[in-house]
């Protein structure tokens, strides 16, 4: 049973629930900054009494159906050994259909694209939320309109600059900041609702139905902005492993949804009294004395929402690397206690560069709104599709029940997606461009690794046979241990061949180590190591890691002590084969993609950084390989 399902004390549960307010609900919690405003701006919905109630009803029932029913009740059940997120869902779905190879490949491609499009979301969210918060300046001091973009860029630059110090300290402040934020959302909305309780009629779904029936095409276009109320819904599932189901559910039902509902209905009540407040109904909710504090609090909340996506991007990158979907890159661990706290410099500054482009190019939250919904709805739809295959083939539920459970959600997601695709020409192309670029990189890396592996396997020499031949007339044995890392088990590593050819020596003790990453989050220490004696103090070792495990090879090799294999850290050398890839025509992959793979392979960070090998004990030996 997952540790997240174990009973928790009230104090621990309360702490996790407050933590979930910040990390899980940071994105969706900042939606009141722009969601209602964008429905009327982006879709050109007339500002009438019935339309205000109809739009409010749409917002409320979208949150209820998509978040309360789909994510909180259904999707959170699809945990992969306690872990969530699109990669965890992809692993569950592909495992469930492993006996259907064609379907499995199709799901893999769909899941890869969903993972790739997430990086578009990770760019749009910081730009959108920070711009929306800083635009509060225009409400209180219109003369500072031209300062919105520069201030937003300064805030974002500071946010990305502090990532290298770790998210631990910032993370501790997430919960309390968002606790104050959600409390403020409720307190801002309540007075307006009390002053105009007529707005509560919008809870009746007939207002939403009548609005859609009356306006037809305009209502369909408006759905592209309505979906902004559930941006961040994927975070509920992605952060499942950090908090568990119970704290996430408690936070949503008891605090987040009530606060969001009160604020949206408060904005609606304000618009019923003052339709001109549509220019920025959120900030106009505040009384005069609260203007500056609300601006500061909104900026802090936007930073929290952005931080959550940046941290998630680091985590997704690490998981993708471990599953062989991206090349190895430098990953810095910023905490000695929590392996989940990581910093990926390349991803951090890559995101920042795209965020700067988004803020400078679009210049306002209204223009970014079109770009925002596309990424969100694609991932929502893919998650629903994956869920069907998990519950049908993994959980073995009847077909009719699976269709009912996911079919309605799929229709809703597909409708939202179709509406947002209308905005591709008006900003939606931006996250799609990022997603397609990442998808191309991931697919190229995955296929390139397969081609490289196939080529190396063609020329491979069986390890057992080779060692038997070597020990007929053994070379000089030198003191210490040698660890030869090889992608293929039972194959003679090129590094061993080069070592014997050039140095003509063999260490006293030799370990041939293969690292296997599996499509499950965690693999325990009891299953971490497989070892087979090859005689003459040589061993074939296989190390197993889940995509959430830390792939620390030296630490894992310490488990060999229980098998009678002793390694002295100061006398152990690690031999790596750094093959140079030469693209050729006819491999089955376009030449430009072969060249792209060769470039990625050449520029990938050293395995020592990814596998935590001591850099002063590494010997790199390489050869040229044509693919």
Residue 112 CA to residue 319 CA, distance in Å, equals 12
Task: Judge contact between 409 and 70, C-beta under 8 A.
Answer: yes
Average pLDDT over residues 347-372: 89
For position 425, what pLDDT does the model report? 85
For position 413, what pLDDT does the model report? 93
**Phi, psi of 484, rounded to the nearest 5 degrees:** -100, 115
pLDDT digits (tens, 9 = 90+) for 197-252: 999 999 999 999 999 999 999 999 999 889 999 988 877 787 777 778 888 899 99
For position 3, what pLDDT does the model report? 45
DSSP state of 390: I
**Helical packing angle, 10-23 and 291-322, nearest 10°:** 90
For position 353, what pLDDT does the model report? 95
Residue 287 CA to residue 184 CA, distance in Å, equals 12
Res 319 pLDDT > 50:
yes
DSSP state of 344: -
DSSP state of 577: E
Res 529 pLDDT > 50:
yes
Tell me the pLDDT of the chain averaged across its residues. Answer: 86
Q: Which residues contact 265 (CB under 8 A, 6 or more apart)?
A: 56, 60, 189, 192, 193, 199, 200, 202
Task: Judge contact between 78 and 387, C-beta under 8 A.
Answer: yes
Average pLDDT over residues 65-81: 88
138 or 399, higher pLDDT: 399
pLDDT digits (tens, 9 = 90+) for 494-503: 889 888 888 8
pLDDT digits (tens, 9 = 90+) for 502-520: 888 899 999 999 999 887 8
Name the pairing type of β-strands 529-533 and 538-546: antiparallel
Average pLDDT over residues 126-152: 87
Q: Which helix (H) or strand (E) holds 391?
A: none
Res 314 pLDDT > 80:
yes
Q: Which of 97-111, 142-156, 443-457, 474-488 has the lowest mean pLDDT?
A: 443-457
> How confident is residue 1, by pLDDT bands cut at 50, 70 and 90?
very low
> How confident is residue 624, by pLDDT bands cut at 50, 70 and 90?
low
- Among 85-89, 236-240, 329-333, top mean pLDDT goes to 85-89
Task: Judge contact between 523 and 499, C-beta under 8 A.
Answer: no
Provide, rounded to the nearest whole percent, the portion of the chain with pLDDT above 70.
Answer: 93
| pTM for this prediction | 0.81
4 or 34, higher pLDDT: 34
Give burial (CB, 10 Å; 0-12/13-18/19+) of 554.
Answer: middle
> How confident is residue 371, by pLDDT bands cut at 50, 70 and 90?
confident
Residue 367 CB-half CA count within 13 A: 12
Residue 507 CA to residue 475 CA, distance in Å, equals 9
Number of Cβ atoms within 10 Å of the Cβ of 67:
23
Average pLDDT over residues 44-49: 87
> How confident is residue 348, by pLDDT bands cut at 50, 70 and 90?
very high
Q: Which of 138-142, 367-371, 467-471, 600-604 has the lowest mean pLDDT?
A: 600-604
> How confident is residue 340, by pLDDT bands cut at 50, 70 and 90?
low
**Radius of gyration over every alpha carbon of the chain, rounded to an integer in angstroms:** 27
Measuring CA to CA, how many Å separate 478 from each of 70, 227, 239, 474, 574? 62, 66, 50, 12, 15
Name the pairing type of β-strands 580-582 and 618-621: unpaired
For position 608, what pLDDT does the model report? 65
Task: Judge contact between 79 and 2, C-beta under 8 A.
Answer: yes
Q: Where in the chain is the domain with CATH 1.20.1740.10?
A: 10-446
Task: Judge contact between 75 and 406, C-beta under 8 A.
Answer: no
CB neighbour burial string for 562-575, b if at least 16 within 10 angstroms, e if fewer: eeebebeeeebbbb
For position 570, what pLDDT does the model report? 87
For position 18, what pLDDT does the model report? 84
For position 490, what pLDDT does the model report? 87
For position 393, what pLDDT does the model report? 92
Residue 229 CA to residue 566 CA, distance in Å, equals 57
Give the class (CATH, top level) of 10-446.
Answer: mainly alpha
DSSP letters spanning 514-575? EEEEESSS---GGGTEEEEE-STTEEEEEEEEETTS---HHHHHGGGGGGT----GGGEEEE
Task: Judge contact between 497 and 622, C-beta under 8 A.
Answer: no
CB neighbour burial string for 97-114, b if at least 16 within 10 angstroms, e if fewer: beeeeebbeebbebbbbb
DSSP letters spanning 174-208? HHHHHHHHHHHHHHHHHHHHHH-GGGGGGGSHHHH
Res 123 pLDDT > 60:
yes
Res 427 pLDDT > 80:
yes
Task: Judge contact between 542 and 77, C-beta under 8 A.
Answer: no
pLDDT digits (tens, 9 = 90+) for 549-574: 888 899 999 999 888 888 888 889 99
């Amino acid at each position: 049973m997952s540790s997240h399902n174990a009973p928790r004390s009230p104090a621990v549960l309360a702490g996790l629930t407050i933590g979930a307010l910040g990390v899980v609900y940071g994105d969706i919690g900042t939606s009141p900054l722009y969601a209602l405003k964008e429905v009327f701006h982006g879709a050109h919905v007339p500002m009438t009494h019935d339309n205000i109630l109809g739009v409010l009803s749409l917002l409320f029932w979208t949150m209820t159906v998509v978040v309360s029913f789909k994510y909180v009740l259904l999707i959170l059940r699809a945990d992969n050994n306690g872990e969530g997120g699109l990669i965890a869902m992809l692993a569950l779905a592909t495992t469930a259909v492993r006996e259907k190879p064609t379907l499995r490949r199709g799901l893999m491609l769909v899941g890869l694209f969903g993972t790739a499009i997430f990086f578009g979301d990770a760019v749009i969210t910081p730009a959108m939320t920070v711009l929306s918060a800083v635009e509060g300046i225009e409400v209180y001091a219109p003369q500072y309109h031209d300062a919105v973009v520069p201030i937003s860029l300064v805030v974002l630059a500071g946010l990305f600059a502090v990532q290298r110090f770790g998210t631990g300290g910032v993370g501790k402040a997430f919960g309390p900041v968002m606790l104050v934020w959600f409390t403020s959302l409720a307190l801002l909305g309540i007075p307006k609702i009390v002053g105009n309780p007529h707005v509560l009629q919008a809870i009746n779904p007939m207002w939403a139905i009548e609005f859609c029936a009356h306006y037809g095409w305009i209502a369909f276009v408006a759905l592209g902005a309505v979906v902004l109320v559930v941006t961040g819904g994927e975070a509920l599932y992605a952060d499942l492993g950090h908090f568990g189901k119970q704290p996430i559910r408690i936070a949503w039902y008891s605090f987040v949804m009530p606060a969001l509902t009160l604020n949206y209905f408060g904005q609606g009540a304000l618009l019923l009294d003052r339709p001109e407040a549509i220019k920025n109904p959120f900030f106009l909710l505040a009384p005069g004395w609260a203007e500056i504090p609300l601006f500061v609090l909104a900026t802090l909340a936007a930073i929290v929402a952005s931080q959550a996506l940046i941290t998630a991007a680091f985590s997704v990158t690490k998981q993708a690397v471990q599953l062989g979907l991206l090349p190895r890159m430098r990953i810095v661990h910023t905490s000695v206690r929590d392996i989940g706290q990581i910093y990926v410099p390349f991803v951090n500054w890559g995101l920042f560069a795209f965020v700067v482009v988004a803020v400078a190019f679009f210049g306002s939250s209204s223009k970014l709104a079109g770009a925002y919904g596309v990424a969100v709805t694609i991932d929502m739809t893919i998650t629903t599709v994956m869920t069907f295959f998990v519950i049908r083939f993994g959980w073995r539920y009847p077909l009719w029940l699976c269709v009912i459970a996911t079919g309605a959600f799929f229709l809703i997601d597909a409708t939202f997606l179709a509406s947002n695709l209308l905005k591709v020409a008006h900003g939606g192309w931006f996250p799609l461009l990022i997603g397609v670029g990442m998808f191309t990189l991931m697919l190229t890396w995955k296929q390139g690794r397969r081609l490289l592996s196939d080529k190396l396997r063609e020329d491979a020499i069986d390890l057992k046979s080779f060692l038997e031949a070597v020990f007929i007339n053994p070379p000089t044995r030198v003191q210490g241990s040698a660890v030869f890392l090889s992608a293929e088990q039972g194959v003679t590593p090129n590094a061993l061949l080069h070592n014997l050819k050039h140095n003509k020596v063999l260490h006293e003790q030799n370990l041939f180590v293969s690292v296997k990453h599996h499509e499950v989050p965690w693999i325990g220490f009891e299953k971490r190591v497989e070892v087979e004696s090859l005689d003459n103090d040589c061993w074939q070792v296989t190390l197993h890691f889940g995509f959430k495990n830390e792939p620390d090879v030296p630490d894992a090799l310490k488990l060999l002590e229980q098998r009678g294999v002793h390694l002295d850290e100061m006398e152990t050398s690690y031999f790596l084969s750094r093959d140079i890839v030469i693209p050729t025509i006819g491999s089955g992959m376009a030449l430009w993609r072969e060249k792209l793979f060769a470039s990625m392979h050449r520029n990938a960070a050293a395995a020592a950084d990814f596998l935590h090998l001591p850099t002063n004990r590494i010997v790199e030996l390489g050869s040229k390989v044509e693919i």
